[in-house]
C-alpha cells in the first residue's frame, strides 16, 4: 500500500502525496536511529542529532502540461523553505516532522512529460514525529465542586489555592511526559490551573480578548494583548511550582476556579508515527 502524506512549507503551500497523480512509492519515513555516547564500555546517554531520510516520489499526470506544472510546483514548494531557512512540515498519520528537502534526484523524466521519478533527501534537526492534541475547557463559573485538599496561602505575589473549583480530566496517551502549551483567555486575574500534581499560575490580569500562553518547549510565558502586542510575563509566574513542568502520561485531573476558559495542547513526540 502506498504511503499517504502531505508536505506543507513555511508559506502554507502544500503537496498531497497519495492522490492527484503524485505518489510516494518508497520511503524511510518510519526508520529511526538513536545515537549514544559511551564511557568505559558503558552507555551514558542517548541523542539523535541531525538526520536524513530518503523518499521516492512519482508524478503520473493525465496530460503533459499537468506533468510539467506538477514538477515545477513541487520544486518551488520545497525550495522556498531552503531559501528562507524556515523548515516545512511533513505530515503522516496525524503526526508531523519538521524538515527540509535538501536534495532531489530524477529518473525516467525523458520518457514523457507526464511521468517522472524523484528521489528526495529529507533533512531534519528535530527528528521526532510530533502530534498536538488539544483539550478545551470552557468557563463554568457557578458550577463548582468541593475540593477539600485545596487551601489558601497568603503569598507575597497573591499565590493561592481556591477552595472551590471546576474539575475535569484528560488522558495523556504519550509514552512519557509531554511538553505543552497552555492558553488562558481573559478576562481573569491571577489565573490558576492545576494539572495532576502541579499548579500553573501567573500573577497577571487579563482583559477580555487577551490571552496568556505558557509554552514548555520554548520556556516562554507571554501575554498577548488585543492589539497583537506580545508581552513577556515570565517573571510573574508563581514561584511555588515550576511553570514548565511537563504533563505526566496517563489520566490527569484538571482543576480551576471556573471563571475563565483555557486550552491545553499536549505535544506527543515519537521516533516514528503511530501505525494505523
Looking at per-residue confidence, does 226 or 165 come out higher?
A: 226
Tracing cell 506543507 back to the chain, one arrives at 8
Report the distance separating Cα 58 and Cα 118, nearest Å.
6
The pLDDT assigned to 1 comes to 63
pTM: 0.84
Name the one residue in this structure whose C-alpha cell is 526508520: 31
| Stated length of the chain | 276
Task: Say how far apart CA 134 and CA 45 lie, in whole Å.
Answer: 32
Q: What pLDDT does residue 276 have? A: 85
Q: What is the pLDDT of residue 152?
A: 36
pLDDT digits (tens, 9 = 90+) for 2-51: 789 999 999 999 999 999 999 999 999 999 999 999 999 999 999 999 99
Split at pLDDT 50, 70, 90, the class of 189 is very high
**Residue 254 predicted with pLDDT over 60:** yes
145 — pLDDT class (breaks 50, 70, 90): very low
Handedness of CA 42, 45, 49, 55 (dihedral sign): positive
Higher pLDDT, 127 or 159: 127
Residue 272 per-residue DSSP state: S
Residue 30 — φ and ψ, nearest 5°? -90, -5
Between CA 116 and CA 189 the distance in angstroms is 60
Q: Which residues pair with 133 in a beta bridge?
A: 266
Which residues touch 8 (CB under 8 Å, ≥6 apart)? 14, 88, 89, 91
The average confidence (pLDDT) of the chain is 90
pLDDT for 177 beyond 60 = yes
Closest of 15, 111, 13, 118 to residue 64, by C-alpha: 111
Judge whether 65 and 42 are in contact, CB under 8 Å.
Answer: no
Q: Is pLDDT at 155 greater than 50 in this prediction?
A: no
Burial 109-134 (b: 16+ CB within 10 A, else e): eeeebbbbbbbbebbbeebbbbbebe
Question: CA–CA separation, 141 vs 256, rounded Å?
Answer: 10
Nearest to 270 by CA among 256, 249, 241, 253: 249
Contact indicator for 245, 179 with CB cutoff of 8 Å: no
Confidence band, pLDDT 50/70/90 cuts, at residue 165: low
Average pLDDT over residues 193-215: 96
Instruction: Fill in the DSSP letter of residue 152.
Output: -
pLDDT digits (tens, 9 = 90+) for 37-94: 999 999 999 999 999 999 999 999 999 999 999 999 999 999 999 999 999 999 999 9
Amino acid at each position: 500500500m502506498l504511503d499517504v502524506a502531505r508536505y506543507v512549507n513555511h508559506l502554507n503551500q502544500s503537496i498531497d502525496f497519495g492522490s492527484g497523480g503524485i505518489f510516494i512509492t518508497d520511503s524511510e519515513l518510519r526508520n529511526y536511529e538513536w545515537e549514544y555516547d559511551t564511557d568505559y564500555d558503558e552507555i551514558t546517554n542517548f541523542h539523535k542529532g541531525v538526520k536524513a531520510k530518503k523518499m521516492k516520489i512519482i508524478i503520473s499526470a493525465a496530460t503533459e502540461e499537468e506533468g510539467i506544472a506538477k514538477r515545477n510546483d513541487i520544486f518551488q514548494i520545497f525550495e522556498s523553505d531552503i531559501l528562507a531557512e524556515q523548515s516545512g512540515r511533513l505530515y503522516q498519520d496525524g503526526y508531523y516532522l519538521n524538515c527540509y528537502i535538501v536534495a532531489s534526484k530524477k529518473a525516467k523524466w525523458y520518457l514523457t512529460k507526464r511521468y517522472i521519478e524523484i528521489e528526495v533527501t529529507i533533512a531534519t534537526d528535530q527528528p521526532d514525529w510530533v502530534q498536538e492534541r488539544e483539550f478545551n475547557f470552557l468557563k463554568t463559573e457557578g458550577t463548582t465542586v468541593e475540593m477539600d485538599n485545596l487551601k489558601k496561602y497568603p503569598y507575597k505575589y497573591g499565590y493561592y489555592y481556591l477552595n472551590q473549583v471546576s474539575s475535569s480530566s484528560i488522558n495523556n496517551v504519550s509514552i512519557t511526559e509531554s511538553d505543552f502549551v497552555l492558553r488562558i483567555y481573559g478576562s481573569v486575574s491571577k489565573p490558576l490551573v492545576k494539572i495532576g500534581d502541579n499548579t500553573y499560575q501567573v500573577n497577571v490580569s487579563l482583559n477580555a480578548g487577551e490571552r496568556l500562553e505558557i509554552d514548555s518547549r520554548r520556556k516562554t510565558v507571554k501575554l498577548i494583548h488585543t492589539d497583537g502586542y506580545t508581552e513577556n510575563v515570565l517573571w510573574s509566574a508563581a514561584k511555588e511550582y515550576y511553570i514548565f513542568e511537563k504533563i505526566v502520561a496517563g489520566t490527569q485531573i484538571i482543576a480551576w476556579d471556573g471563571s475563565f476558559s483555557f486550552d491545553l495542547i499536549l505535544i506527543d513526540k515519537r521516533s516514528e508515527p503511530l501505525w494505523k
